[in-house]
Amino acid sequence: MNDLDRYLDDLGDRLADAKAPRRRWPALAAAGAAALIAALVGSLIGGPGGSERRPVVIGPVDALAKARAALAVADGEMLHLRLQNLEPDLPKGANAVKAIRSGTQEQWSASDPQRWRIKTTDGVGEVVESAYAAGVNSHYTANDDRLVRVGGYRDGIPQVRMPSLFGQGGGDPDTDLRAALDKGRLTDTGEVRVDGRTVRRLKSDQDLFVLIYDVDPQTFAPVGGSRAYYMPPRKPGGKRRWAGTFAFTVDVFERVPADENALTITPGADTKIVTCRVKSPKKPRPLIGCRTS
């Protein structure tokens, strides 16, 4: 477990214990550092205060519909993205080492049938991969050259949703951009300037987290964004307490023909492979029938 894992686990525990009015906290710790950093992305560039707002009249363009359409994938296609995750902005005294660094996340996803793969490289070069296809969840860690494949799942259930802000549907509006768009959780706030570039900004404020999603004002493809997390107020009527902001920029965003090799984790000649299955798709523990090759 690295420093970011420990910080997120601790934050997740504290948020789970806290009683927030009207809202439930998305399962932060369960997402894992690889999923979080990315998706929190992933998550996030140009957070609040990192951009200069300019006056703009929001025209009749339905930015939410266009942003939804930009993420759509047709049969025979896959969505390919590469995100650059910025160094998290954390409160002073946070239970994390300052050496938490930026990293990259590359992801490939397709639907009908559902399949996806994510490759995350942190700021010190540690590589972790996750994938799903045909009822099998896979997880690979390069440090120990170990691939774990767990079968017994089925398409469309939360347990096999791509752990990324850019998941291919079926997600929680609190943690999945597509679901948030579908549920109308985002508001079009118009055009802003971020790092010298004009973007169209979509925003969602859900009490315990604030999502900023910036898109190209012409194509509505993702450019970057940020996600800020909060603790509930200490006292009724008090202010929520900021717990950290994670940011990302989008280097690559393209629809390309579906490539099953890109959607699959390919083990090396010496990779240790552990194969298991779940007793029930909705209860991933305990694993049964495990064997190593």
Q: What is the mean pLDDT of each run of 10 residues along the chain (293 residues)?
A: 48 48 37 36 32 41 85 90 86 59 85 91 87 95 95 88 62 57 81 93 87 92 91 91 90 94 94 93 82 90
Q: How far is CA 105 from CA 108, 122, 125, 156, 193, in A?
A: 10, 8, 12, 23, 25
- Burial classification of residue 87, based on how many CB atoms lie within 10 Å of its CB (0-12 exposed, 13-18 middle, 19 or more buried): middle
Instruction: Take residue 120 and report the two structure tokens written for it.
Output: 């995350």
Q: Enumerate residues 6+ apart whose C-beta is below 8 A from 201.
A: 188, 189, 190, 191, 192, 212, 213, 214
Please say whether the beta carbons of 34 and 118 come within 8 A. Answer: yes
Cα 209 off chain centre by: 14
Domains held by the chain: number = 1
What pLDDT score was predicted for residue 199? 95
Rg (CA), the chain: 19
Kindly state the tokens that stand for 264: 């699959």
How many angstroms separate the Cα of 220 from the Cα of each of 201, 215, 261?
10, 5, 28
Q: Packing angle between helix 3-17 and helix 28-39, nearest 10 degrees?
A: 130
The set of residues, in sequence order, having a beta carbon less than 8 Å from that of 59 and lying 6+ positions away, is none
Question: DSSP letter at 137?
Answer: E
Q: Residue 14's domain spans which residues?
A: 3-292
Burial class of residue 175 in the structure, from the number of CB atoms within 10 Å of its CB (0-12 exposed, 13-18 middle, 19+ buried) = buried
Q: In terms of C-beta density within 10 A (0-12 exposed, 13-18 middle, 19 or more buried), how is residue 172 classed?
A: middle
> Smallest Cα–Cα separation from 147: which of 277, 275, 9?
275
- Looking at residue 61, its pLDDT comes to 65
**Do residues 222 and 166 make contact, with C-beta atoms less than 8 angstroms apart?**
yes
Q: Encoding tokens for residue 247? A: 């940011």
CATH number of 128's domain: 2.50.20.10
Structure pTM? 0.72
CA distance 10 to 96: 9
The span from the CA of 39 to the CA of 43, in Å, is 5
- What pLDDT does residue 81 have? 92
Q: How far apart are CA 189 and CA 164, in angstroms?
A: 23
Place of tokens 């299955």: 277
